[in-house]
Structure 1
Amino acid sequence: MEFRPRDYQAEEYAAAAGLPRSPALRHPLSPALLPPAQADVVVEVQNVEFDDPLRAAPIKEETLDSSDSSNERDAAYSRRNHSKEWSLFTGSLIQKFSYGSTIHVSSALDSVTRSSREYGKSLADVHMEELEDPDVVSEAEKKVITRQEYVSRLQQLKSEIRQAWRGGDRVKALKLTIKVARLLMDTTVSQFYPTLFVHVIEVMDMLGDLVWERIKRKAEYSDEGRLVNSLPENFLSRDICSEAKDTCFNWFCKIGSIRELLPRIYLELAISRCWRFLEDDHLCNLERLTMMMRGLADPLGSAYCHLYMARCVGLLNQKDKGYLIRSIGQITNLLERIILMKEPYSSHSFKNKKTLITLMEPPIEWIMKCIFVDGYKEAGDLVAEFSFWQNTSESTVKIPCISVVLHYLLKQLPAGIISTHALHIIELFEQNVDISYDQHLNFRLLGQKLSESPPPLSSLNSILKHVNEVLAQYDRLEEYLIVADAHLDIILHHLIDDYIPAILDGIVKRVNNRSVDGNEIELLQSILVKLINHFDSLEDILSLNHFMDILEVLRGSSRNMVDMQILRKATRTHYISDPTTIQLLFEISQALNDSIDISYTNDDCQLKAHLITSFVQKVDFGAEREHHLTFLIECRAAFGRINELKDTLVHLSNSLAVKAVKSMTKCLNFLKACMAFNEVTIPSISSTARRMNLYIETAEVALLGGLVSHAEGLLTSAISCLECVSTTVEIHKLVDVDQISPLICKLCSVLLMIPGIPEEGKIDMPHNLISVVDCLSVISPRTKLKILCSVIYLSASLSQNKLPYHASNEEILGNDRLFYGDASYFEGLLSLSSIALQKLFDAIEQEPHLGIRGTMALEACNCMIICYKASEQLYTECSRLIEIAKQSLQPQNKFLEYTRRLFDKHLSTFR
């Protein structure tokens, strides 16, 4: 077979001229261009109703008329939400106060430390005996027990209470529950007390649920078990029968007879839901319990008792929050006594007052949250009860202003309210400095609230002036940083840059060449990141006084985070040309590179590598190309572990070479230097596909500069990359057609521009390509076919009297001029294509999948029809390929139909 002669320029012109073209006056998808019938269809489709799963369920008419059912749903939702939040709160409570593995407990009050083995009796029997005679254990005796063992025994006792209830012995269940409640009387286990509280109230809640279900059943069922009255969710006391009311009243009487005040309150709170069976208004009971709690002298026990009341009453959906205000008032009075007393408050001697106040914080926080659960509008009038705002002379309850109470009040208030009263709040901070809460934490909260809702500009300067004065009073770095970091957002938001130098200067003075701890480093990180994000350009950031001094203080992950932010800011610009800035960013990149894990797999390491690569891409030395190439060499040495960067370095080197060639100056030595840089860099890249691509790209640049021998060597290296496929770990990635075949096509397109040597013919590289591919058993038959088709296309193009394109460098002659009329050269090309054709048919036969085999046959047929002259042999071979496709594909296959038409057009004369 002979190659078909082609005139590429004429074919291009014919293809362009043959396409029908008309100006598009309007967008082709414009509704005005739609036919009327089609437009009607569109409108009809738009009007179709359908169920949207994101829409709310349709509301039935009967629900709109029933406010009672709506109230029931709201109440049920409120209880579920309250229970969920309480579960999260108690979990955090245990986690916060979880230190210490053992505790010292008083045996007189903590009978759970006495195992049943000591008595040879059940644990429940032991408790029952101690209920009858509390003096059976010596008060002076102390025992050591692990936290886990304490909790486990408490859970065992909870199980025995449930068993006693199910067995009908409700008196025993009540007495055991009282014993559990007595555990909260022992506050000597101060650090364990919050955890003890959580586990004890689980028992209380269990008893409350059991009593509620028992009374509710009596109200709904007869003694024979027949349903008499089904109570609605929002039932009233008049809906309850007398027998159920008597049972309920009896339970409150039993609990009212408990001698100790604390267990009596806890048990009544546990069954507080049962008030609904007796009366509709619960406020009088809440006020009574609140007054009873005034008798709890121990501050820790009192605080957590108030906490349990807020939790229990929260399930009742009580609208009046006055009892919660009184709870806060009682806790505040206790805190005031603790703060004013010279000695520790309790005879059980807490380690210090600060520890006791810290343990009392969770009740204050939860109660404040309950006060504002319905929002500020509903609770706003109650704020006056705290006497915190000005003009509150009409307040009925005068509660002293304690710092910790003020903190949790401000935490619940809307940011807008705090923003309006910011100056007055600062005065409160200054007037009420006590040990209950660190004032710098109050100022941090103030700063956070002001950031959420900025105050009016008229008062902003006054606020920041007060804050600046407060900052000057802090000698400790951590306190200074906490307040400065909290208010930096509002300073940057209003562009009040006058305070920034003062803040940075204060930081440097307090660092004073000393070591900085972990929390201080995190705060410094936060401040620097906010500054970086605020300014538009990196130059503005670096010009800040002491910025670099503070940056040098950071270490570890915080330093890496700030460095990454600096690189992110720097790479957002078009280019980086300032030598000082480049050197700084290079050093930052080196520090980040050192922190990249050798495995280079996690997202953080990949982000660091990407930022370093982006920085290198943005550097521009302008006309100083030698300096830029030197910079690339330094980057290769400094960041050799980053695979992504190696590709970028080669691309940048080629870009420098192209710019040098286009500048029309003497650049041969620089061009060779770029080629040498690439020849050293490319082999270190692990991915075979990427190496091939870069070799081919660099060969194109070499041809542009007239370096033919360099181009030949680079293309030979690209072909050699295929020999590594079977030994690489990414073999399964490379055998894919989408990766190998495009690279070979690109390789062949460059080979078309490589001038041969007249004495040798210079077609050895395509021969080498066929030999290498033939030896790779791991490459799929279809990939081999595409490669072999590329070789045939290359051979057919080289055989033309005029090549479709030439090298841009006019000094490089094409093979159409070097071998014009050389019969041996053309015979070599035919021999090359003949070898490729034979291996092409072998690849088709090796493909096991019928569908793929048929497609391969059609691809081969199209290649042969395009490349060869019409002849009897071509007709025979193509007929064979089409027959294979018919046997493998469906008759209506579009590719098969197109190929048959092409076959009939060019080879019909040989039938």
Structure 2
Amino acid sequence: MANLDWVCVPRSYEVRKNHLAGQATLEHPLKQQSVTVVDSNPLSRALEGTDPLSQFARQDEELNDPLSPQKVSELDLKSKRRERDRTEPEDNTLQWSSRRLGILNRFTTNEKLSLSTSFLVASGSLDGGSESIKAHTVVADKTKYRLEQLDHFDDGSMRHMMDLTQQEYIQRFEQLKQELIQSWHNDQRVKALKIAIQCAKMLADTTVLQFYPSQYVLITDILDVFGKLVYDRLRSKASGDPGAVSAATLEREREAARDTCQNWFYKIASIRELLPRLYLEMSIFKCYEFLSSSREEYEKVLHRLTHQLRGIADPLVSSYARCYLVRMGVTLTPSKTYIRENFKDLFIIYPQIFRFVARFNLHPEIVTASSYLQLYAPAFDYMFLCLVHRCELHTQDMLAECKQLKNNGAILMSILSSFKSEFIATNALEFIELINASETPGISKSQLLRSLGSCVSSCAPLQEQRMTFLKTAFETINKLTDPNEYINCVETWAVFVSQYFTVHEVNRLLGELNARMCLGKAYEKHYSQLQNILSRIMQNYRSIELLLIQPNFLPYLDLFQKESVRVEVCKNILSYYKQNSEEYTSDAVVTNALMYLGKILNDSVNALTVEDERRQISQLINVFIHKVYFGRDLEQQLSFYVEARGTFSNLDAVYVTLVHAACKLATRNRSKSTGFVKACIAYCFITIPSIGAVQQQMDLYLLCGQLALQHLCLGQADACFEAALNLVNELPAATIDFEGKPRSLERFLVSYLCNMLATLIVVPDSPDQGVLYFLRLLLEVVGRHEFKTDSTAPSTIYLHCLDMLYVQSLEKFPYHIRGVVSNDDLYGHDPKFLAEVNNMCGQVVDALLLQLKSLGVAQQQRSQAELALELFLKIVRYADLEKESVAQLAVNLWLLANKAQSQLDVKTLPQTLRSVEVLYKQVKDASPKQAQAIASLLLRMRNS
């Protein structure tokens, strides 16, 4: 539109300023308000004020009256039960359920297992038997019914299942458990008893030794279920009929329960074989409370069972039977006497265990000596735990007896696992002597030392004993010739050393490890242990900075020759530094160590590295870059950034952080000299091109240009702005978001260029480049940029260019940067400058008219109408409407918008008209000629 005679009109901002009208209020406008709505429900009137659910609740309250006779009798029983429960453990320390899963996971086998039972038969025959034997409820028929059960389940029906896998074996026992429960609920008590007996017999089978602890867990689970069923049955009988309120009736019921309880013990006592007889009596041991409430009686029974257990020949079977006895005993009595007696018997047969060990040494294909002794650990551990639970009377005695035993390694292991850490810490030197003197086949000193190290890590010896204890312990550890045993010991003791000793001992430990593991390249087989040692030291030592400056710390990292492991170790170290370091560090040694770690991570990044890995590494390096702080020594800080730029060349995110850090450093310059600021900006200007993402480069160039402008470095600012504008056409059309979907960058470009236009308002023209050089460059790159056909992005940019040009035409800009001579002062409202501004406004309007035409060709009527209204308002506010060409253009734009009225919001055109009317009222006093031109335009708008 070459005939457009654009002239910018002056504006008084004070006239146009709109003040926000305030209104006094007594309450906070954002205060939460609660509104109560009463809604009458027509259905509620039919109830006539009576809620049937409330009636039931009142009835329940009446039935649950604690003063009723029925409740009195129930409370009496509950009080007695609570009195009994006081003897049971209140915490989970002695709960077997917390141990059973660990045993099942630890003791497994690949060998084939066998199982003998008469109850896991074919489904058809089993169902037929169930149909032939009906559950009778008549009391007179019970004897006949039980005899029929005995005849039906004779010994001739035994089935031998061979070649079972471990999983199949476990499934069979689960089936037996369900069969026992079902038989009990079907009133087939004899069948349930025989299932329990047959299961108990299997505890004598040690064919697959390494599976015996798991076999014990599976079978005792069934025995526990059997014992619970018997106990619950007796308890229900002893509780009596809830409807009976007579004391005599309740007493008769309890007497019947006692008789039934005695019958159960008589039945079990008639079992011929020793092992099932003992196990079944122990499984229902809790039922003795129905026969007697005296703890002395319970202890007599426990001592009797202890003596009977002496008849079991196999030490493994005997040990687990004693464990079961102890487990049942703690539920009724807190006495430790019977446990102590069990240990006396155990120590008598203890040498017999090592006859088996000697045999297995000759035949290691069956089981190794070490594996065989580990089979005893669950039983020994639990028995020791029950012995010392809430009682310290027997700890010294047991330790003394352990000293007297030959081959005491297995007992010592269980003591270390079960006794309290405080006791072990108090006698730490004594335990070290015991370990040094121990020569137990199958139990190495390294195993004992690891167990001791775990104990003292949670509770250390006395302060005056610690150094002696540590030296004595490591004298033994350093004598271990097997690298595997050595590294496993140190892995456990690393927690103790780092938690209770100074950094010198930690450094010495790292040095010894380095020297020992370099022999024969032993480190290649123990990367995980070496990594765990370092992690435990960093977790427990109080200062990560002190560790980093130790002479043996970085050489320790050289043990990790495998690149993937070394990278993982460096990431862990920087993660600990991120979480546990001081806020800032200025130590050169710490900084160099961190740079060394960061360089390893940087060098591991290549073209195949996934984006998430890059992000993690960049975040870790960025954290320590922010923590390096040299105070007022700004030159040293900038030198560190220069070194970091050369070190972390593969990580764009680190470069972005360095640019921001250098910009922040420039703002800390307290002196009036701009030399250091120029150095910081030059650093940024050199660093930014190395960043791969064009979007980030543009942002950083604009930031650095604004910073340079604020510090009066005009040459540097011009260079940054020009570099940023030259990158516009290198910006990709879209980027990939975090969900992997393409995201257009047009919105970013519009926002970015609008930000730059706001900055360019105060940027003075360079004498070497001409008037409004940067705006001309911006219009040029926007004209060359490829937008979508229906995109409104170029229109938005051109409209903001009009805003910027109009501000350039004013005598005084709305804002300035202190010390920067902007174009309003530089040109002083020179007519030649204004003519150039008006000429550029005409060029921008021409570009906008081309955009209007393109939108019309693309059938984008709504976008075309909106753009026409936007341009119309710009012309009305900025241009001299006395010029006929300008006024006619405004009218044409208004008519164009009216044609697409159906595409616009119904309020858009009236609001636009109202805006012009408001503008007329604002300028009618300050500029009568402009007001007259606006009035003429309004008349033409209304007539159109």
The alignment's TM-score, normalised by the length of structure 1, stands at 0.71
SS of alignment partner, residue 111 of structure 1: strand
Map of 1:27 onto structure 2: none
Q: Once the 2 structures are TM-superposed, how far is the Cα of residue 611 of structure 1 from its aligned partner?
A: 1.9
Name the CA distance, whole Å, in 1 between partners of 2:119 and 2:159.
10
Map of 1:827 onto structure 2: 838
CA deviations on 1:418-441 (whole Å, 9 max, x unpaired) are 333323333333344424643334
Matched, 1:285 2:290: no
Relative distance call for 1:113 and 1:436 in structure 2 (3 A) is: farther
SS of alignment partner, residue 343 of structure 1: helix
Q: 2:352 aligns with which of 337, 340, 347?
A: 337
RMSD: 6.1
SS of alignment partner, residue 259 of structure 1: coil
Map of 1:266 onto structure 2: 279
Q: 1:111 aligns with which of 116, 119, 122?
A: 116
CA contact (8 A) 2:725 2:777 kept: yes
Q: Once the 2 structures are TM-superposed, how far is the Cα of residue 187 of structure 1 from its aligned partner?
A: 0.8
Q: Once the 2 structures are TM-superposed, how far is the Cα of residue 357 of structure 1 from its aligned partner?
A: 1.4
Map of 1:320 onto structure 2: 335
Relative distance call for 1:760 and 1:359 in structure 2 (3 A) is: closer
Name the CA distance, whole Å, in 2 between partners of 1:134 and 1:515.
64
Map of 2:391 onto structure 1: 379
Alignment of 1:397-436 (within 5 A): 402-435=408-441
Relative distance call for 1:230 and 1:532 in structure 2 (3 A) is: farther
Name the CA distance, whole Å, in 1 between partners of 2:571 and 2:441.
40
SS of alignment partner, residue 276 of structure 1: helix
Relative distance call for 1:573 and 1:666 in structure 2 (3 A) is: closer
Map of 2:255 onto structure 1: 242
Matched, 1:97 2:129: no
**Identity of matched residues, %:** 20
CA deviations on 1:147-195 (whole Å, 9 max, x unpaired) are 2222233333334334433443322222222112211110111122222
SS of alignment partner, residue 344 of structure 1: helix
Name the CA distance, whole Å, in 1 between partners of 2:87 and 2:844.
79
Letter in 1 for 2:838: E
CA contact (8 A) 1:691 1:721 kept: no
Task: Give the number of equivalent residue pairs.
Answer: 821
Matched, 1:510 2:510: no
Q: Once the 2 structures are TM-superposed, how far is the Cα of residue 406 of structure 1 from its aligned partner?
A: 3.2
Map of 2:177 onto structure 1: 158
Map of 1:362 onto structure 2: 378
Matched, 1:191 2:210: yes
Matched, 1:456 2:462: yes
Q: 1:748 aligns with which of 748, 757, 767?
A: 757
Name the CA distance, whole Å, in 2 between partners of 1:804 and 1:339.
97
CA contact (8 A) 2:119 2:176 kept: no
SS of alignment partner, residue 714 of structure 1: helix
Q: Once the 2 structures are TM-superposed, how far is the Cα of residue 490 of structure 1 from its aligned partner?
A: 4.7
Alignment of 1:207-218 (within 5 A): 207-218=226-237
Which deviates more from structure 2 when the two are superposed, residues 529-538 or residues 900-909?
A: 900-909
CA deviations on 1:592-621 (whole Å, 9 max, x unpaired) are 65279956465x764433123345664999
Name the CA distance, whole Å, in 2 between partners of 1:70 and 1:790.
88
Name the CA distance, whole Å, in 1 between partners of 2:299 and 2:453.
38
Alignment of 1:448-597 (within 5 A): 448-493=454-499, 495-496=501-502, 499-500=505-506, 502-516=508-522, 520-529=526-535, 534=541, 536=543, 541-544=548-551, 546-555=552-561, 559-567=566-574, 569=577, 574=584, 582=592, 585-586=595-596, 589-591=599-601, 594=604
Map of 1:256 onto structure 2: 269
Relative distance call for 1:340 and 1:158 in structure 2 (3 A) is: closer
Letter in 1 for 2:756: L
Q: 2:775 aligns with which of 763, 772, 777?
A: 763
Q: Once the 2 structures are TM-superposed, how far is the Cα of residue 296 of structure 1 from its aligned partner?
A: 1.7
SS of alignment partner, residue 514 of structure 1: helix
Letter in 2 for 1:476: D
Matched, 1:714 2:723: yes
Which deviates more from structure 2 when the two are superposed, residues 553-562 or residues 379-388?
A: 553-562
Relative distance call for 1:356 and 1:445 in structure 2 (3 A) is: closer
Name the CA distance, whole Å, in 2 between partners of 1:230 and 1:885.
90
Q: Once the 2 structures are TM-superposed, how far is the Cα of residue 348 of structure 1 from its aligned partner?
A: 11
CA contact (8 A) 1:755 1:814 kept: no
Name the CA distance, whole Å, in 1 between partners of 2:201 and 2:152.
12
Q: Once the 2 structures are TM-superposed, how far is the Cα of residue 268 of structure 1 from its aligned partner?
A: 1.7
Which deviates more from structure 2 when the two are superposed, residues 364-373 or residues 201-210?
A: 364-373
CA deviations on 1:651-703 (whole Å, 9 max, x unpaired) are 46778999999976699999778635523x24x22xx6534312423544677
Map of 2:97 onto structure 1: 87
Unmatched runs of 5 consecutive residues or more in structure 1: 19-34, 39-59, 232-236, 393-397, 890-894
CA deviations on 1:751-797 (whole Å, 9 max, x unpaired) are 33263754787633454577689945898x8x999866644442232
Name the CA distance, whole Å, in 2 between partners of 1:456 and 1:778.
81
Letter in 1 for 2:759: V
Letter in 1 for 2:280: L
Name the CA distance, whole Å, in 2 between partners of 1:817 and 1:401.
102
Q: 1:906 aligns with which of 922, 935, 940?
A: 922
CA contact (8 A) 2:385 2:418 kept: yes
CA contact (8 A) 1:103 1:146 kept: yes
SS of alignment partner, residue 320 of structure 1: coil
CA contact (8 A) 1:403 1:437 kept: yes
Relative distance call for 1:212 and 1:508 in structure 2 (3 A) is: same
CA contact (8 A) 1:722 1:773 kept: no
Name the CA distance, whole Å, in 1 between partners of 2:869 and 2:463.
76
Relative distance call for 1:587 and 1:177 in structure 2 (3 A) is: closer
Relative distance call for 1:85 and 1:122 in structure 2 (3 A) is: same
Q: Once the 2 structures are TM-superposed, how far is the Cα of residue 749 of structure 1 from its aligned partner?
A: 2.8
Map of 1:30 onto structure 2: none
Q: Once the 2 structures are TM-superposed, how far is the Cα of residue 737 of structure 1 from its aligned partner?
A: 11
Alignment of 1:37-52 (within 5 A): none
SS of alignment partner, residue 163 of structure 2: strand
Relative distance call for 1:847 and 1:644 in structure 2 (3 A) is: farther
Relative distance call for 1:875 and 1:157 in structure 2 (3 A) is: same
Letter in 1 for 2:621: I
Matched, 1:799 2:790: no
Letter in 2 for 1:253: Y
SS of alignment partner, residue 279 of structure 1: coil
Name the CA distance, whole Å, in 2 between partners of 1:908 and 1:72.
95
Q: Once the 2 structures are TM-superposed, how far is the Cα of residue 270 of structure 1 from its aligned partner?
A: 2.2
SS of alignment partner, residue 144 of structure 1: strand
CA deviations on 1:266-288 (whole Å, 9 max, x unpaired) are 21222223222222233322222
CA contact (8 A) 1:411 1:445 kept: yes
Relative distance call for 1:136 and 1:614 in structure 2 (3 A) is: closer
CA contact (8 A) 2:787 2:794 kept: no
Higher Cα radius of gyration? 2
Map of 1:305 onto structure 2: 321
Map of 2:47 onto structure 1: none
Name the CA distance, whole Å, in 2 between partners of 1:584 and 1:532.
15
Name the CA distance, whole Å, in 2 between partners of 1:230 and 1:517.
80
Matched, 1:206 2:217: no
Name the CA distance, whole Å, in 1 between partners of 2:178 and 2:81.
36
| Greater relative contact order (Cα < 8 A, sep 6+) | 2
Relative distance call for 1:553 and 1:344 in structure 2 (3 A) is: same
Q: Once the 2 structures are TM-superposed, how far is the Cα of residue 369 of structure 1 from its aligned partner?
A: 3.3
